[in-house]
Amino acid sequence: MSATADRKPVSASDLAALRLAAVGREPWRSLDELADTAGFRRFVEAEFPAIAERLPFSLDRRSLLKLMGASLSLAGLTACSEAERIVPYVHQPENLIPGKPRYYATALSSDGYGIGAVVESHEGRPTKVEGNPDHPASRGATDAIMQAAVLSLFDPERSRTPLRQGEPASYGDFLKDMAELAGGLAASGGQGLALLIEATTSPTTKAQIGSLKQRYPKLRVFKHDPLASSANEQATTRLFGRPLTPVYHFDRADVIVGLDADFLGEGPGRLAYARDFARRRRVRRSADTMSRLYVVESTPTITGAAADHRHAVGPGLVQGVAAAIKAALEGEHDATSLPSLGMEHALVDDLHSAGRNALVVPGAHQTPFVHAVAFAMNARLGAVGNTLDFIEPTDAMPIDGDLPAFCQAITRGSIDSAVVLGCNPLHTAPSDIDVRKAFSMLKLLVHSGLYRDETAFLAQWHVPAAHELESWSDIRAYDGTASIVQPLIQPLFDGKSMHQLLAALGGEFNADMQALVRRTWAAVDEPAWKKALRDGVVPDSATTAVAVSMPPDIGGPTRHAAVADRLELRFVADPWLRDGRHANSSWLQELPRPLSKLIWGNAALISPATAQRLKLENGQVVNLARGGKDLDAPVWIMPGQPEDTVTLSFGFGRKIGSVAALSGGYDAFALRTTDAPWFADGLVLTARDSSARVVTTQHHQAMEGRAIVRHATLDAFRQNPHFVRDGVPPPPTESLYPDWAYDQEAWGMSVDLSACIGCMACVSACQAENNIATVGPDEAALGHEMHWLRIDRYYAGPVDDPDIFFQPVPCMHCEKAPCEVVCPVNATVHTHDGLNAQVYNRCIGTRYCSQNCPYKVRRFNFLEYQEFDKDSAGPQQAAHNPDVTVRSRGVMEKCTYCVQRIAEKRIRAQIENREIGDGEVVTACQQACPTQAITFGDLNRKGSGVAREKAAPHNYALLEELNTRPRTTYLGKITNPNSRIAGKPGTETGGNG
Amino acid sequence: MAEALGARAENAVPRAPVLRGHHDFPEISGRISAVVLQGRLPRFFWAAFFVCFVFVLLFLYSITYLISVGVGAYGINIPVAWGTMISSFVWWIGIGHAGTLISAVLLLLRQPWRASINRFAEAMTLFAVAMAGLYPILHLGRPWFFYWLLPLPNTHMHWPQWRSPLVWDFSAIATYATVSLLFWYMGLLPDLGVLRDRAMSRAGQLFYGILALGWRGSAFHWARYRTVYFLMAALATPLVVSVHSIVALDFTFAIAPGYYSTIFPPYFVAGALLSGFAMVLTIAIPLRWAFAVEDLITLRHMENAAKLMIAAGMIVVYGYASEAFFAWYSGQPYERAMMAQRAVGPYAPLFWVMLFCNCIVLQLLWLRRVRLNMPILFSIALIINIGMWLERYVIVVTGPSRGYLPSSWGEQSLTWLDYGILFGSLGTFFALVFLFIRILPAITIFEVEELVEEKGGGA
């Protein structure tokens, strides 16, 4: 490895020497490599004898991780000038009561688009992100990544100081250099200067770039967004003469066709779409109706799992299928050359009968042709203006080009100074562009980012960026609604916002973050500004729909020649790490991927049939080659994956940061080329003799004929609303133990399996709310993961085309809890309001409760997973929820129904001398859920939301025959398949008996 | 009829005698006490002790590591949160049972053949219970709070939860350990008196003199000794059944498939006797050979132990059959699937090895030739020891690994620490046996003298 190869041998065994040693021009590839040197060992032995003794054992990578958090991270960061100042209030701020959290509305960025958030702050310390109910892209929900924002804020490995040529420098020095640069540029009109920005919708950025361009007419601005696709822009430009963005209304759609579109899991509007989609599919009585979803997709997604009819095809075939559906819709029967789904006619009849309530959604990464076909079908059905609107793009920026253009301009010599804001092209560029070479030709490279990443190592100046919870900014949502991003905390490491750097470039060196944003919204008066800050949205800022007319000619498909005996390649972004920007977040690394349930690494997904044909098994390493590039990846057999298609995900393979260094997997950018950013054919797969560890949290995928997820079609439900009782014995009613009496509340939860889309937001929210530890890949591989709430994913039916079911499993809080009777020390007890409480202080760790739990929801602190020493815990301890105990090793823990939230509401209700209102207590999982699948409340209260849910005919308890009488119950999953399309055997009602 | 058949069988093949050859009192007490008092033990004794001592060190290291790092260092997880700490515990407790059976039950039944083997069998019980008692504590996530299982009045408002079998278990083991220790010590008193009298050194006289509690061998002493010893035997006898039944309730009480089975208490007791007698043979066969006491511990003892093994073993075989049958007969899909997975799932090799050891190999003991062939009998005893450990491990892990929800199916795999503690405890157990042989008479002097008296020898 070059970073260590050109290093001087370490002689002194102290940290200072180690730091010096680690200051290279490039990052070390893994901390293992750095750590596996004599110098490091001497340092560890001197400073941490306990850890040194434990270093040889594999399970102690965790200790290594802790150590990294404490000190090794500093090695790469070279200096820590800014100590966190925590002083008691001299003057207590108005309205602040110590111990009572405050909530601030802001917005978090998701691929550049805003999703509204309300952040809980304890004494100035943000601890929890909730959705903003007033924000159109959130509607009160969050996703898993938003939950992890507080963890990344306190990440000790964030860049802490400006670096000049890799050496610590002051921000003043940087400004001095900028002043010189600005002076020179003012004379030349910005000749040779370029900006490279990441995806953003910030009006302030737009305005700043505009004024910079006025100041420097020759300034050029490029955008690099590795997860974007230009297909929609191309298609709408071709069809309507200008780029437009579609906005969907799933609440109005009766029949939805997804053309490789993962609208529930991807895209800036996904939370709102999921809410609308689930609302249109809410069935409680026989008279209720629901929408029908057809999905054609090239890799399994949660949208496909939610579909009533799912059809897996290779990514290159999607345009053919789209064309076939369009031909059938338009009554052309001679389109025999097109691939057949076997259900076009039933599908098309459905679309016709839905008329303007139909909706065809193209996948963002699909070809412009697929977009055009989808828009044309929507237009023909009259859906445009009803289920689909077109708006002016919200991310419009005065952009001169993309990354390839940027690199070309450098190579041609027309750019010699560049400012890279946020993005990390050295990692995320397609492999056929030599970014390193291009960037090396620059005279000046300024980089701003949260981490000292690959690009930062190449830069002359690296400036730490302010986290979005530390910044003033603004951002637009998928529908154009603007939000003001307000800081929850002073920048911890003196990071600078993108706006401050742009201002400095324009000669404004000491600009205040807030003032820069306020200037953009100068037209808004002070009360309205305050209101916008409080509400989290700027009123009436949503973009209005534009009227479009569909041209008759939509163009032809992109040429896609299938190569015989080769595989197709499909790229996806990792749902949590995205392009790798969140790779240093242990919460996200350890959060199971919705379908594969993989953690701490990615794998090449292949279908069972392909695996059988190529004789591959899970974890086997294969070499994947295309266009002269190749990579090694472990395979993972994925039911529902189209045949001869390999899915690779971005986000892994990065070794920057100690958490990321622990993860496995490959870097899929190594196979990506500019001509095929999202899918390609001609992939050559060669099996290797080795295998790699792939960590998963669920090893068995079938329900084994047990009535676990009970499901039925809508028709079957109408005939028999009590289908969940079919074929299962009635639950027993007697018990040896007397019933509990409830004078006050009796809490209960209902989970609607029809609404659950398996997005994992609840699991992440639970982790953030309840201080749940992450354990690292080694421990997780042993089955030691700690999530209190898990989402079980089951497959049923044929392995190549299975039905996919999700089932969130929190603690059931059984009335007759098997755990309670076996605990020898009374550590798990029944409370007066029906909770099954775990008393950590009493627990001695016999683990009998877990052995006796049929649902296996209990989690055990097998090792010391949390850091209790405040000096070595690092800043991340600040992300802990102060209302929840941090558990030590040797004790059992589990879902508490967020008892701290119940207690908070009870205290408030008692102060106000009233009962706790229905819906007043909201659990963390419930609050995060985008589809409102979870209802929580008091079962004793007549007409409470949860009592109503439990009165639904398809309410059932998991494993009710065991007489545990769970308080968490489920509503059976109801699907709405088209009766004209032959279903798979046993899918009408299933999972019973 | 039966008696006649028995008599004929007796005539056909003469049974090995309980005591072989001609002996007298001074010879017996001299031979047995010489091992202890003269201490000139053969070189191999110390070599073997050294090997055991290395394992004692391994045991200490493993325990230190376990307590300082946490229970996650050995192979447990969710869903299989119990592992070798529980299976080894059950195994060790079972080993102890043979000692209690020999010393208490056979005493009450007036079986004279117990005399020369009861002392070391009791010692074996004591050491096995000592090993067994450590395991549940090492099993705990927070072992330093093990005493919270005791009903101690305290200020932190903590009281055991009496519905939990673990509380019963704790009492059962504590009772068993106490009774075993007292019974063993009681039986030692006359021999300690002999050792005191025969000791040449002042230190030896003091050591054994204090331990002998003033035993003078008067008629009063013997009369009271007899009364107390028989009373304690009567107290210890129910423990043979109750301790392991309560251990079995740890499983039976749970609703996990594979645990919830009412056959467990009797079948655990039978398994305990099987493994206990296997361990008796594992120790006795090398012991009688190494110390040339084949005339005191005769083939009769070995054969009787083997007969008890096959009797207990057949009950265990019946237990296996009935467990499988009732899994099917219950009609419960969970129970059936668990049983099927036990036979074909990831733990299937262990299951089949267990059946081979405990069911197939056991049948060899029907043959008298095998029972009287010490190398083969020793091998069978070892195999059954292994088989019985596997049985407990299979029961502990297969149920939870194939529980109610397939999403939570999973296996645990053993780490070095599981092996470190298991083999460390075996080493410690044998090291204690070696120390016992060195310090105390391994064969009861006065009871063998009684045999001599009955046989017509004596002084």
User: Coil, helix or strand for A970?
Assistant: strand
- Indicate if A786 and A923 belong to the same structural domain: yes
Taken in order A14, A20, A21, A22, is the CA torsion positive or negative?
A: positive
Residue B163 with chain A: CB contacts under 8 Å: 821-822
In a domain, A537, yes or no: no
The answer to whether B400 contacts A851, with C-beta atoms less than 8 Å apart, is yes
- Indicate if A955 and A819 belong to the same structural domain: yes
What are the angstrom distances between the C-alpha of B201 and each of B204, B210, B214?
Answer: 5, 14, 18
Residue in chain A nearest B168 by alpha carbon: A824
Residue B412 with chain A: CB contacts under 8 Å: 782-783
Taken in order A142, A147, A149, A150, is the CA torsion positive or negative?
A: positive
- Indicate if A401 and A360 belong to the same structural domain: no
Q: Which of A699, A705, A851 sits opposite B256 (nearest CB)?
A: A851
Interfacial B residues in 339-398 facing A (CB < 8 Å): none
Q: Would the pTM count as exceeding 0.95?
A: no
Q: Does A918 have pLDDT greater than 90?
A: yes
pLDDT of residue B301: 87
Testing the interface with A: which of B408, B412, B417 to mutate, by most A Cβ within 10 A? B408
For a pLDDT cut of 70, what percent of chain B falls above it? Answer: 96
Apex CA B350: angle with CA B348 and CA B356, to 5°? Answer: 105
pLDDT of residue A815: 93
pLDDT band at A67; cut points 50, 70, 90: very low
Residue A329 belongs to domain spanning: 245-391
Q: Does A85 have pLDDT greater than 70?
A: no
Q: Does A190 have pLDDT greater than 80?
A: yes
Residue in chain B nearest A783 by alpha carbon: B77
Testing the interface with A: which of B62, B252, B405, B416 to mutate, by most A Cβ within 10 A? B405
- Indicate if A218 and A295 belong to the same structural domain: no
Q: Which amino acid does the sequence have at A939?
A: L
User: What burial letters (b/e) apply to A572-592, b meaning 16+ CB within 10 Å?
Assistant: bbbbbbbbbbbbbbbbbbbbb
Q: Alpha-carbon distance A63 to A386, whole Å?
A: 56
The answer to whether A851 contacts B77, with C-beta atoms less than 8 Å apart, is no
Q: Which of B80, B254, B406 sits opposite A703 (nearest CB)?
A: B406
- Indicate if A902 and A826 belong to the same structural domain: yes
Residue B397 with chain A: CB contacts under 8 Å: none
Testing the interface with A: which of B170, B404, B411, B413 to mutate, by most A Cβ within 10 A? B404
B82/A contact by beta carbon, under 8 A: yes
Q: Which two tokens stand for residue A78?
A: 């070279």
The answer to whether B407 contacts A794, with C-beta atoms less than 8 Å apart, is yes
What is the per-residue DSSP string for A693-721?
Answer: --EES----B-TT-SSS-EEEHHHHHH-T
Topology given in CATH for the domain delimited by B20-146+163-455: Formate dehydrogenase/DMSO reductase fold (1.20.1630)
Q: Which two tokens stand for residue B359?
A: 């069911």
- Indicate if A197 and A269 belong to the same structural domain: no
User: Could you say which of A334, A368, A391 is where a domain stops?
Assistant: A391
Q: Does A74 have pLDDT greater than 80?
A: no
Burial class (CB in 10 A: 0-12, 13-18, 19+), A975: buried
Cβ-contact A594, A600 below 8 angstroms: no
Q: Kindly report whether the peptide bond that precedes residue B79 is cis, defined as omega within 30 degrees of 0.
A: yes
The answer to whether A825 contacts B146, with C-beta atoms less than 8 Å apart, is no
For a pLDDT cut of 90, what percent of chain A falls above it? Answer: 70
What are the angstrom distances between the C-alpha of B43 and each of B40, B283, B288, B290?
Answer: 9, 18, 16, 11
Q: Alpha-carbon distance A843 to A849, whole Å?
A: 11
In a domain, A270, yes or no: yes
The answer to whether A783 contacts B139, with C-beta atoms less than 8 Å apart, is no
> Tokens 């004794």 identify what position?
B45
Of A553-562, A889-898, B362-371, the poorest mean pLDDT is in A553-562
Say yes or no: ipTM exceeds 0.85: yes
Q: Which two tokens stand for residue A756?
A: 């659950």
CA distance B49 to chain A (A): 29
User: Could you say which of A478, A511, A544 is where a domain stops?
Assistant: A511
Q: Which amino acid does the sequence have at B441?
A: P
What are the angstrom distances between the C-alpha of A167 and each of A78, A170, A247, A452?
Answer: 8, 10, 47, 12
Nearest to B357 by CA among B386, B337, B323: B386
SS3 content of chain A, % helix, strand, coil (to 5): 30, 20, 50
Cross-strand partners of A454: none
Q: Is pLDDT larger for residue B65 or for residue A875? A: B65
Residue A54 with chain B: CB contacts under 8 Å: 69
Q: What is the CA radius of gyration of chain B?
A: 23
Inter-chain contacts counted by CB atoms under 8 A, chains A and B: 169
> Tokens 């052309």 identify what position?
A332
Length of chain B: 459
Residue B69 with chain A: CB contacts under 8 Å: 54, 59, 863
Element (H, E) at A128: strand A125-131
Mean per-residue pLDDT for A833-846?
A: 94
Q: Which two tokens stand for residue B217?
A: 């061998």
- Indicate if A771 and A644 belong to the same structural domain: no
Q: Does A812 have pLDDT greater than 80?
A: yes
- Indicate if A309 and A425 belong to the same structural domain: no
Q: Alpha-carbon distance A993 to B6, whole Å?
A: 57
Q: Is pLDDT larger for residue A714 or for residue A340? A: A714
User: Average pLDDT of chain B?
Assistant: 88
CA distance B252 to chain A (A): 11
- Indicate if A770 and A882 belong to the same structural domain: yes
Residue in chain B nearest A779 by alpha carbon: B72
Element (H, E) at A446: strand A444-449
The answer to whether A706 contacts B149, with C-beta atoms less than 8 Å apart, is no
For a pLDDT cut of 90, what percent of chain B falls above it? Answer: 60
User: Average pLDDT of chain A?
Assistant: 87
Residue pLDDT, tens place only, B224-236: 999 999 899 898 8
Contacts of A707 (CB under 8 A, 6+ apart): A724, A727, A728, A991, A992, A993
SS3 content of chain B, % helix, strand, coil (to 5): 75, 0, 25
Q: Does B9 have pLDDT greater than 70?
A: no
The answer to whether A708 contacts B161, with C-beta atoms less than 8 Å apart, is no
Residue pLDDT, tens place only, A423-476: 899 999 999 999 999 999 999 999 999 999 989 999 999 999 999 999 999 999
Residue pLDDT, tens place only, A581-624: 999 999 999 999 999 999 999 999 999 999 999 999 999 999 99
Of A757-766, B126-135, B151-160, B394-403, the poorest mean pLDDT is in B151-160
Mean per-residue pLDDT for B321-331?
A: 91
Cβ-contact B141, A891 below 8 angstroms: yes
Cβ-contact A517, A431 below 8 angstroms: no
Q: Does A41 have pLDDT greater than 60?
A: no
Domain of A365, CATH number, reads 3.40.228.10
pLDDT of residue B25: 75
Interfacial B residues in 139-158 facing A (CB < 8 Å): 139-143, 145-146, 148-149, 158
Mean per-residue pLDDT for B288-313?
A: 88
User: Coil, helix or strand for B47?
Assistant: helix
In a domain, A130, yes or no: no
Q: Does A20 have pLDDT greater than 60?
A: no
DSSP A92: P
Distance of CA A79 to the CA centre of its chain: 32
Domain of A500, CATH number, reads 3.40.50.740
Q: Alpha-carbon distance A720 to A595, whole Å?
A: 31
Q: Which of A700, A821, A861 sits opposite B406 (nearest CB)?
A: A700
User: Could you say which of A361, A391, A421 is where a domain stops?
Assistant: A391
Residue in chain B nearest A775 by alpha carbon: B72
Residue pLDDT, tens place only, B79-107: 999 999 999 999 999 998 888 888 888 88
Q: Does A482 have pLDDT greater than 60?
A: yes
**CA atoms within 13 Å, Cβ hemisphere of A174:** 30
Q: Does B2 have pLDDT greater than 50?
A: no
pLDDT band at B456; cut points 50, 70, 90: low
User: Coil, helix or strand for B307?
Assistant: helix
CA distance A792 to chain B (A): 6
Apex CA A670: angle with CA A669 and CA A674, to 5°? Answer: 65
Residue A852 with chain B: CB contacts under 8 Å: 254-256
Residue in chain B nearest A819 by alpha carbon: B254
The answer to whether A864 contacts B406, with C-beta atoms less than 8 Å apart, is no
Q: Which two tokens stand for residue A349?
A: 């009849």
pLDDT of residue A194: 94
pLDDT band at B293; cut points 50, 70, 90: confident
Residue in chain B nearest A853 by alpha carbon: B256
DSSP A172: H
Q: Alpha-carbon distance B364 to B380, whole Å?
A: 8
Cβ-contact A726, A952 below 8 angstroms: no
Testing the interface with B: which of A700, A849, A862 to mutate, by most B Cβ within 10 A? A862
> Tokens 């079919």 identify what position?
A726
Q: Does A22 have pLDDT greater than 80?
A: no
- Indicate if A796 and A755 belong to the same structural domain: yes
Residue A779 with chain B: CB contacts under 8 Å: 72
The answer to whether B70 contacts A864, with C-beta atoms less than 8 Å apart, is yes
Residue pLDDT, tens place only, A379-407: 999 999 999 999 999 877 888 899 999 99
The answer to whether B405 contacts A864, with C-beta atoms less than 8 Å apart, is no
The answer to whether B77 contacts A862, with C-beta atoms less than 8 Å apart, is yes
Q: Alpha-carbon distance A925 to A935, whole Å?
A: 10
The answer to whether B254 contacts A822, with C-beta atoms less than 8 Å apart, is yes
- Indicate if A758 and A848 belong to the same structural domain: yes
Mean per-residue pLDDT for A834-851?
A: 94
- Indicate if A372 and A415 belong to the same structural domain: no
Of A348-362, B156-170, B387-401, the poorest mean pLDDT is in B156-170
Interfacial B residues in 155-184 facing A (CB < 8 Å): 158-161, 163-167, 170
pLDDT of residue A913: 95
The answer to whether B254 contacts A790, with C-beta atoms less than 8 Å apart, is no
Residue pLDDT, tens place only, A695-741: 999 999 999 889 999 999 999 999 999 999 988 888 888 888 899 99
- Overall domain count for chain A: 5
The answer to whether A860 contacts B405, with C-beta atoms less than 8 Å apart, is no
- SS3 per-residue string spanning A836-904: EEECCCCCCCCCHHHHCCCCCCCEECCCCCCCCCHHHHCHHHHHCCCCCCCCCCCCEECCCCCHHHHHH
Cβ-contact A295, A282 below 8 angstroms: no
The answer to whether A825 contacts B71, with C-beta atoms less than 8 Å apart, is no
In a domain, A551, yes or no: no
CA distance B73 to chain A (A): 8
Cβ-contact A281, A308 below 8 angstroms: no
Burial class (CB in 10 A: 0-12, 13-18, 19+), B10: exposed
The answer to whether B160 contacts A826, with C-beta atoms less than 8 Å apart, is yes
